[in-house]
Amino acid sequence: MSSIPENILRQYQDLVEELNNHNHSYYVLDDPTVPDIEYDRQLRELQSIEGLYPDIITLDSPSQRVGGAALSSFSQIKHALPMLSLDNAFNNTELQEFERRLKDRLNSNDDIEYVCEPKLDGAAVSLLYKDGALIYGATRGDGSVGEDITTNVRTIRSVPLKLHGDNIPSTLEVRGEIYLPLSGFDALNAAALLSGDKTFVNPRNAAAGSLRQLDSKVTASRPLEMCAYSVGQYLADRVPETHEGMLSALRGWGFKINDLVETVKDIAACENYYQRLAERRESLPYDIDGIVYKVNSLQLQERLGFVAKAPRWAIARKFPAQEEMTQLIDVEFQVGRTGAITPVARLEPVFVGGVTVSNATLHNGDEINRLGVQIGDTVIIRRAGDVIPQIAKVVLDRRPENALPVVFPERCPVCQSMVRRTDGEAVARCSGGLFCGAQIKEAIKHFASRKAMDIDGLGDRLVELMVDESVIFSVADLYDLNVDKLVKLERMAEKSASNLIVAIAASKKTTLAKFLYALGIREVGEATAHTLAKNFGSIELIAKASVDELLEIDDVGPIVARYIVNFFQNPDNLSIIQALRDAGVEWEDIDLSSLEAQPLKGQTWVLTGGMEIMSRAEAKDELQALGAKVASSVSAKTTQVVAAPGAGSKLTKAKTLDIAVMDEQQFVSFLANYK
């Protein structure tokens, strides 16, 4: 910028600051400070300077909110800390049960303070700021990896491009909801009708679709807003002690915080908040589908920790399900990966819960009998949030004379194998196993999924097509594919076929845990597969394990143990595993003797703060490889705490309990001793 006159540079910087302040007042505080005509005059002046001096343009310039060149696709961003989902409570009893679990875990009967937040119905996003400047924005994705939507979030005027205020963290990851106010939604659909375009079904779909536009100018044209509700990464000298304090800090740095957020003293006050907000729901200028309750104390949040997919210290209280009446046209029976036969109701399409519903689940034969439903009946459909629509009730006084009973099949609708039901289970299953076409399709989809063998490019439709065309009959047949076989399929070009063959070949190198998960053994998820691999070391030992031996593993109960034994006693499954190994699928067995000699076996470590030299996931893997258990909270049983920059209450508690603490550099040096 050396060629830009000093007076012009100062003028430009003043305009950027002044316009950003106007934006914040208008879009975040809802308190305009200047008339629109004055804002437009200043913006034109800014754009005039940028036209004369293109090098002067900064990332936080208001002119950058109009959108840039269209993208060809979205890249991916891995979340440093997972974006977890929330458990749900659908009534006050479930909410009270939530608090009982909290108090049991805290070993305390003291009242717990909560923050109550309207659950905005939009799209969750993560925004990363470094030294106050917006670096990237990402969608939630699968919770671990999201799409890079930085260009699009820059167009949203309630998203600060640069933070202002005091004590701004050096690293700040803000999580929030991007949504479309009802007025903006109505205007968007009105414009679509005028131009003959397709209208959006609801504001949530409109917001999500707007965020995923490859042309950011389209996103910029839509009146999206964002409310911040939490943080992920946080590196700062001072850390708030409460969630309420964190929201206040975010507001001070320029973020919009929902004005209905309220801190209450106990669970009874949470219920009172629910009743008050339920009464206001229909009059709000945006859609909400419930309330989120969060434990206010960040120290208690750390003590409570997380389960696999959700924090223990938060829960979403859903509003009553939305219902509508329609006619049941037919019932079809679908077959899942484990052979489960699921009745699916085909309905006269009806608009309920913000979407048009034409199918609903009937769960199982017992549910059909309980409802007494017949084909031709008028039924009440219930849809709560994103829950699959279901038939809640039959309107018996509208039953037609030609109504027909629903007959549960005795044979699989796909392979004609006998349908069997195990004592104690509500679900009936096809007995055809991997020789059932439907089960084969679902098994292959699961096998190829990201968390299993991660075969890029092998989508659901392609799997179904290959099975229908008899190109493959099992997961093992994937490794016998070639380009010639694939290009014969409809819409499969040679380049796509070649890319898929490369991806299949790359998947041959895997881990024992991933392979176990990919096999699709009933009730064996990622965590259980990892535990089995760590405790047995090889698939041969797992295959030979008895129920009693499996029950010695912490993560395995009687039902799961029986499923594992049954799976490996099936010769067809063993032949599939051998075929996969013959095709070159391989992994390294785990040396159990080395596990016995692990130097940190029996120790419990805690990681806190924002790690800079390595990611927290990498640090956790290193510690687990050395035999340590990595916990989410500090207790008297903690052996060692690793305190990276920004460490807060965990570090304080470690010092209080006189637990050994090392910084990240010391930790890296410590690990080097075991390389």
CATH number at residue 651: 3.40.50.10190
Q: Is residue 71 part of a domain?
A: no
Question: For residue 385, what pLDDT is reported?
Answer: 53
User: By C-alpha distance, which of 481, 582, 475, 466 is closest to 519?
Assistant: 475
412 belongs to an annotated ligand binding site? yes
Res. 67 pLDDT band, cuts 50 70 90: low
The verdict on 184 and 241 lying in the same domain is: yes
Query: pLDDT band at 402, cuts 50/70/90?
Result: very high
Token representation of residue 119: 């659950």
Both structure tokens of 196: 């003959």
Q: Cα(288)–Cα(272) distance, rounded to whole angstroms?
A: 17
The pLDDT of residue 9: 87
Between these two residues, 45 and 230, which has the higher pLDDT value? 230
CATH of the domain at 545: 1.10.150.20
For residue 308, being part of any structural domain is answered with yes
Residue 118 burial (CB < 10 Å; 0-12/13-18/19+)?
A: buried
Residue 559, pLDDT score:
84
Q: Are residues 630 and 648 in the same domain?
A: yes
Residue 130 has pLDDT above 90, yes or no: yes
412 belongs to a structural domain: no
- What's the rounded mean pLDDT across residues 94-104? 93
DSSP 197: P
The two beta strands, 604-608 and 225-235, are: unpaired
In a domain, 73, yes or no: no
Domain end point (choices 318, 343, 363): 318
Residue 41 placed within a domain: yes
User: Residue 293 is which amino acid?
Assistant: Y
CA distances from 94 to 85, 91, 320, 432, 567 (A): 17, 6, 13, 39, 36
Q: For residues 152-158, give the mean pLDDT.
A: 92
Supply the CATH number for residue 20's domain: 1.10.287.610
Longest dimension (CA), the chain: 87
The three-class DSSP label of residue 292 is strand
Determine the Cα–Cα distance for residues 440 and 461; give it in Å rounded to an integer.
13
In this structure, the answer to whether residues 157 and 271 fall within a common structural domain is yes
How many domains in the chain?
Answer: 6
Q: Could you tell me the strand order of the sheet in which 629-631 lies? A: 629-631, 604-608, 640-643, 660-663
Tokens 């916990």 locate to 631
Confirm whether 82 is domain-assigned.
Answer: no
Please tell me whether residues 466 and 381 are part of one structural domain: no
Between these two residues, 37 and 30, which has the higher pLDDT value?
A: 37
Between 126-135, 196-205, 266-275, the lowest mean confidence (pLDDT) is in 196-205
318 is in an annotated binding site: yes
How does pLDDT run across 56-65, given as a tens digit for each residue? 888 778 877 7
For residue 174, the model assigns a pLDDT of: 96
In the block, which residue shows the tokens 């939009």? 122
pLDDT at 103 > cutoff 90? yes
Instruction: Give the pLDDT score at 32.
Output: 67
Q: Over the chain, what is the mean pLDDT?
A: 87
Q: 569, 594, 619 — which closes off a domain?
A: 594
Cα–Cα distance between 436 and 433 in angstroms, integer?
6
**Residues 169 and 259 reside in one and the same domain:** yes
As a whole number, mean pLDDT of residues 141-147 equals 85
Active-site positions? 119
3-state helix, strand, coil in the chain (%, to 5): 40, 20, 40
Task: Kindly report, residue by residue over 262-282, the tens digit of the pLDDT.
Answer: 999 999 999 999 999 988 887
Instruction: Give residue 507's Cα distance to chain centre.
Output: 24
Percent of the chain exceeding pLDDT 90 equals 39
In this predicted structure, what is the pLDDT of residue 1?
Answer: 52
Taking only the tens place, the pLDDT of each residue in 290-323 is 999 999 999 999 999 887 678 999 999 988 767 7
Is 274 known to sit in a ligand binding site? no
136 and 206 together in one domain? yes
* Both tokens assigned to 489: 């399929």
Lowest mean pLDDT among 423-427, 532-536, 633-637: 423-427
pLDDT digits (tens, 9 = 90+) for 451-490: 899 999 898 889 989 988 889 888 999 999 999 999 888 8
423 is in an annotated binding site: no
177 is in an annotated binding site: yes
655 is in an annotated binding site: no
Looking at the predicted structure, is the pLDDT value of residue 24 above 80? no
Is 436 marked within a binding site? yes
Whether 495 and 534 share a structural domain:
no
415 is in an annotated binding site: yes
pLDDT of residue 567: 87
Condensed to tens digits (0 to 9), the pLDDT of residues 540-586 reads 999 999 998 898 876 688 888 998 998 899 888 898 899 999 999 99
Counting residues of the chain whose pLDDT is more than 70, the rounded percentage is 94
| pLDDT for the residue 255 | 95
Q: Considering the domain boundaries, does residue 424 fall inside one?
A: no
Judge if 181 and 260 occupy the same domain: yes
Do 563 and 634 belong to one domain? no
Tell me: is residue 380 an annotated ligand-binding position. no
| Residue 117, annotated as binding a ligand | yes
Residue 625 pLDDT greater than 90, yes or no? no
Together in a domain, 590 and 651? no
Of 10-14, 29-33, 473-477, 638-642, least confident by mean pLDDT is: 29-33
> What string of H, E and C letters represents the secondary structure of 80-92?
CCCCCCCCEECCH
Among 6-15, 30-39, 545-554, the range scoring the smallest mean pLDDT is: 30-39
Domain that holds residue 630: 598-672
pLDDT band at 31 (very low <50, low <70, confident <90, very high): low
**What pLDDT does 280 receive?**
86
> Residue range 510-522: average pLDDT?
91
User: Which of 280, 301, 318 is the last residue before a domain boundary?
Assistant: 318
What pLDDT is recorded for position 661?
93
Per-residue pLDDT band for 70 (boundaries 50, 70, 90) equals: low
Residue 181 lies in a domain: yes
Q: Are residues 590 and 618 in the same domain?
A: no
pLDDT tens-digit readout, 210-256: 898 888 888 988 999 999 999 999 998 888 999 999 999 999 999 99
* DSSP assignment of 15-29: HHHHHHHHHIIIIIS
Examine the domain organization and report whether 302 and 441 are in the same domain.
Answer: no
> Is 140 assigned a ligand-binding role in the annotation?
yes
- Residue 358: give its domain's CATH number: 2.40.50.140
Q: What is the pLDDT of residues 644-675, one digit of tens each?
A: 887 777 888 888 888 999 999 899 888 888 76
> What amino acid occupies position 468?
D
Whether residue 120 is annotated as binding a ligand: the answer is no
